[in-house]
Structure 1
Amino acid sequence: MEIKVLEKDENTMRLLIKGVDTSFVNALRRNVLAEVPCMAIDEVVIIENSSVFHDEIIAHRLGLIPLKTDLESYNLPEECACKSEFGCNLCRVTFTLDREAKEGTITVYSGELVSENPNIVPVSDAIPIVKLAKGQRLRLEAYARLGRGKDHAKWQPVSTCAYKYLPKVNIDAKSCDACGRCVEICPKKVLVKKGDRIEIRDLLACTLCRDCADACPKEPPAIEVGWEENAFIFSIESTGALPPERIMIEAVKILKKQLKEFASQIEVQRLERTKNN
């Protein structure tokens, strides 16, 4: 297997993965979405709420605020030694919020949540929670814990995780008369006309729609669009809870563990059949 980083910044990463099949890449994608844990608010105690929002709506909005996550310092609740439904300082983080509109209408933002751990805070201070009119107040306690996306979308560490085949575009220079129709119709501007020929400007932007081949007046078309069978472009966009490279590392660790468990189950079944025979 060969992996190359095509693009990377604070929250996004794009990889070129070669030498694997669709099942492997899709298993990796599913683990990113469903198995890699991150922090999210799971329980909210409303002490006072005179806003126009019901308590449940505020709790729901709080749960969807992405939180920076520290996987080394906290345990999943089901794996924590405390075995308590209320949690402990190794599996739960407490947030408090107390805001009152004394002079006029105000907006309460995520940055006003006060965390007991300065490392576990909202990824953005500018996420609106509720508006309070003069005289209204919101006071609450919220408890965050680690969870997995398979249990609720608020525990997904990514906003986007997808893959596509590596495009392969061939232009028949002898047949192509550089009419430019393929260049005009391409939604991603993959092609460019240079003089009396058509060239590929950005191969990785191709979505394999094949509009260019359909627009070509030649028969057969002078341009052919396909893909490499065992090469994929894997794109990931983090919510900010974890760096994208950490998400990928955790997903690979989980996949490796799953494969070991699967192999052990196969071995158990094989031994049972051998014993029965």
Structure 2
Amino acid sequence: MEITKACLDGEKLEFEVKDVPLTFLNTLRRTILSEVPTLAIDEVVIYKNSSVMDDETLAHRLGLIPLRTDLDVYLPPESCDCGGEGCSRCTTSLTLRKKGPATVYSQDLIPEDPRVTPVDPMIPIVRLDYDQELEFEAIARLGRGKNHAKHQPVSVCSYKIIPRIVINQELCDLCGECVQVCPPKTLIRDENRVVVSEPMSCVLCNACVEACRENAITIETDTNHYLFRIEGTGVLPPDKILDSAINILREKTEKLREEIEALGE
């Protein structure tokens, strides 16, 4: 496996990878989506709620607020010594008390652990009118995307084959039709040539190939060269998401190896 041109920009991580089976990339993608644990509100104890929003809808909305997660501090409930009953190692709480008139935002949640805060402080929760009040305690636990989508650490996790666009300049008559029909504007006209501006943006639609009357353009695909893209929700840094997924895959592979060896004994 060869990884090149890695780019980390905020919540986005992109890297090119060569000499790796497509099945492995798909396994990595599925592991990121379904196995990497994150914190999310799992239980809400409501003391007062005189808003127009019923308790069930309020609890559901709270569960979808992304929370910053520290995997070095918190354990999944099934791995905790408390057996999932709830302790400082596997759960944390956020409280809120608000009176109207006001709009309740995610920034109004007061965390027990200052490291566990909403990714976006301005997520609206509910609008309180005069004489309306809201008070509750929310319990956050680690969970996985395979159990509920609110625990998925990414909004985008994908891979694509990197295309190789070849333009025969001798055949090209500079009509410019290929430039006009290209949806992502991968092709541009540079003086007396049509060139590829950004090969990564190509969506393999073949619109340029079909528009070229001189058959000067060909698009080839290298099934051994891929672009892997991760865009996190902010709960975990994207490089941490990738590291966690790789470690999970390593543990699963080791466990499978041990079970296979046990069958042969």
Moved over 6 A (4+): none
Residue 93 of structure 2 corresponds to which residue in structure 1?
A: 94
Match of residue 265 from structure 1: 259
Q: Which position in structure 2 is the counterpart of 1:10?
A: 10
Unaligned runs of 5+ in 2: none
CA displacement 1:95-120 (0-9 Å, x = unmatched): 1110011xx3x210000000110001
Counterpart residue number, 2:42:
42
Relative to structure 2, which stretch is displaced further, 146-155 or 165-174? 165-174
Is the contact made by 2:84 and 2:90 (CA closer than 8 Å) also made in structure 1?
no
Task: Determine which of 229, 236, 245 is the counterpart of 1:242.
Answer: 236
Instruction: String of CA shifts for 1:95-154, please: whole Å, max 9, x gaps.
Output: 1110011xx3x2100000001100011111101101111111111010001111100001
TM-score (norm 2): 0.96
The answer on whether the counterparts of 2:11 and 2:232 sit within 8 Å (CA) in structure 1 is yes
Q: 1:84 to 1:190 in 2, by over 3 A?
A: closer
Indicate conservation of the 8 Å contact 1:93/1:117, yes or no: yes
Tell me by how many angstroms 1:174 deviates: 2.1
Pair 1:179-2:164 in alignment: no
CA distance in 1, matches of 2:51, 2:261: 59
Q: Distance in 1 between matches of 2:69 and 2:158?
A: 22
CA separation in 2, counterparts of 1:179 and 1:260? 58
Write out aligned runs for 1:211-250 (5 A).
Answer: 211-218=207-214, 221-250=215-244
- C-alpha separation between the residues in 1 aligned to 2:134 and 2:234? 27
State the SS of the aligned residue for 2:253: helix
> Which runs of no fewer than 5 residues in structure 1 stay unpaired?
273-277
3-state DSSP of counterpart to 1:199? strand
8 Å contact kept, 2:92–2:113: yes
What secondary structure, in the 3-state scheme, does the structure 2 residue paired with 1:169 have? strand
- Deviation (angstroms), 1:258: 1.7
Structure 1 contact 185–215 (Cα < 8 Å) conserved:
yes
Aligned-partner Cα distance in 2 for 1:253–1:156: 17
Q: Hey, what's the Cα distance between the residues in 1 that align with 2:195 and 2:225?
A: 22
Deviations 1:13-49 (A, max 9, x none): 1111111121011111111110111110000011111
**Structure 1 residue aligned with 2:156:** 160
Q: Does the 8 A contact of 2:78 with 2:84 survive in 1?
A: no
Q: How far apart are the structure 1 equivalents of 2:235 and 2:84?
A: 25
SS at match of 1:175: coil
Say what the alpha-carbon RMSD is for the aligned residues. Answer: 1.3
Change (3 A) 1:194 1:237: same
Structure 1 residue 256, shift from structure 2 partner: 1.4
Rounded Cα–Cα distance in structure 2 between residues aligned with 1:5 and 1:258: 28
Residue 81 of structure 1 corresponds to 81
Letter paired with 1:211: A
Q: Percent identity?
A: 46
Checking the alignment, whether the CA contact within 8 Å between 1:159 and 1:237 is kept in structure 2 is yes
In structure 1, C-alpha distance between the alignment counterparts of 2:120 and 2:8, rounded to whole Å: 20
Residue 202 in structure 1 maps to residue 198 in structure 2: yes
Structure 1 pair 255/194, CA: closer, same or farther in 2 (3 Å)?
A: same
SS at match of 1:73: coil
Tell me, what secondary structure is at the counterpart of 2:15? strand
